[in-house]
Structure 1
Amino acid sequence: MPSWTEVQVRSGTEDDLTALTEIYNHYVRETPITFDTATFTPGQRRPWLRSYPEDGPHRLRVAQDVPSGRVLGYATSSPLRPKPAYSTSVEVTVYCADGAAGRGVGTLLYEALFKALEGEDVHRAYAGIVQGVTPAEGGGTSASERLHQRFGFRHIGTYGEVGRKFGRYWDVAWYEKKL
């Protein structure tokens, strides 16, 4: 595995689109971590990228290995639901590049994301974590649960068999953090 000497966390840009699409497509193809079932082209992901401005409650943070320029992962805060009364709540997520999980990248991304949200009109953050995921399927659910708990998230409930992918049903545990 490569070692990184310096990781920069910054806002995502159009230049990141291909790398971000590749990271996400890995999870679409190989894991139940996302319930998307078809991969995307960078062009299809462009509206997603453009939905994250430099300020406001909906942000995209990218971790990049400075010497190599490799994008190591990304974190987002997105609208929880489309209705106006939900506007002070966000859903957050982290995706690490293949081979970058378990190396502190997710921690760096969440630190930057939550710092960026300070002072914004955001009251709660939510995260959904697919249950029963093995390390071979994307790093193991317990690693994601530990990451979220380190950042003050608490388990608030589980949707049973809410998604079907790879020929089976998956539960999603929901976590909440006061901001």
Structure 2
Amino acid sequence: MSTPTIRLATASDAAAVAAIYAPYVRDTAISFETTPPDTATMARRIDHTLQRLPWLVGEIGGRIVGYAYAGELRQRPAYRWAVEVSVYVDLTARRTGLGRELYRVLLDMLAAQGHIQAFAGITLPNDASIGLHRTLGFAHVGTWHDVGFKLGRWHDISWWQRRLREPADTPADPLAPPGQGCPVDQVTAPLGM
């Protein structure tokens, strides 16, 4: 297996990202979407996210096999230092450490931008995702019960939180997103697996 790399996504990665995501939408309750987004929709999502937050892809041998990104936790201005994070890995690349490294780089970038808290929602049951989040320093902060109905049954969402940096008494706004002045503009990290 070649050494994986992590880099910032572009809209041209949308087809590969959509292909990774589709089985999670179609065959599991991990995502509460019910129809897999097409390439054009995924390209718009990547472009929209990169206006303010990082979206990363992980490649092995030039093939995208995973991705991680951050989104707004809420839209009101006082929430701007908190983000929600997600990671998805191609079914062929699970349990390789790629998801952990994608998250590690993403969380470091978010901290460098000035974000304070990262949150993740995990559809239950999902022991692998809970283990990943615990390994990366997330703590369980609550569960929403029977919040989503998919694949013929109700599902709970477990919420996890990780502090990215200490909050300041008067915080500066988070920095510009990657590629627009963030100190971690050029992300191409070989994975230490």
Residue 122 of structure 2 is aligned to residue 129 of structure 1: yes
1:145 maps to 2:140: no
Cα deviation, residue 34, structure 1: 0.3
CA RMSD of aligned residues (A): 1.2
Residue 32 of structure 1 aligns with which residue?
29
Residues in 2 aligned to 1:72 and 1:172: alpha-carbon distance in whole angstroms? 25
TM-score by length of 1: 0.88
Question: 2:127 and 2:110 mapped to 1: Cα distance?
Answer: 26
* TM-score normalised by length of structure 2: 0.81
State the percentage of identical aligned residues: 35
- Aligned-pair distance for 1:14? 2.0
Aligned residue pair count: 164
The list of structure 1 runs, each at least 4 consecutive aligned residues, that deviate by more than 6 angstroms after superposition, is: none
Write the distance in 2 (CA, Å) between the matches of 1:5 and 1:40. 29
Pair 1:63-2:58 in alignment: yes
Q: Which runs of no fewer than 5 residues in structure 1 stay unpaired?
A: 133-140
Deviation at 1:115, TM superposition (A): 1.9
The structural deviation recorded for 1:123 is 1.0
Is 1:20 the counterpart of 2:17? The answer is yes
Give the partner amino acid of 2:159: W
Q: Which has the higher contact order (CA 8 A, sep 6+)?
A: 2
Matches within 5 A, 1:154-169: 154-169=139-154
Aligned partners of 1:44 and 1:119: how far apart in 2? 29
Secondary structure at the aligned position of 2:23 is classed as helix
One-letter amino acid of the structure 2 residue matched with residue 49 of structure 1: I
Residue 46 of structure 1 and its aligned partner are, at CA, apart by 2.0
> Could you say which residue in structure 2 is the equivalent of 1:106?
99
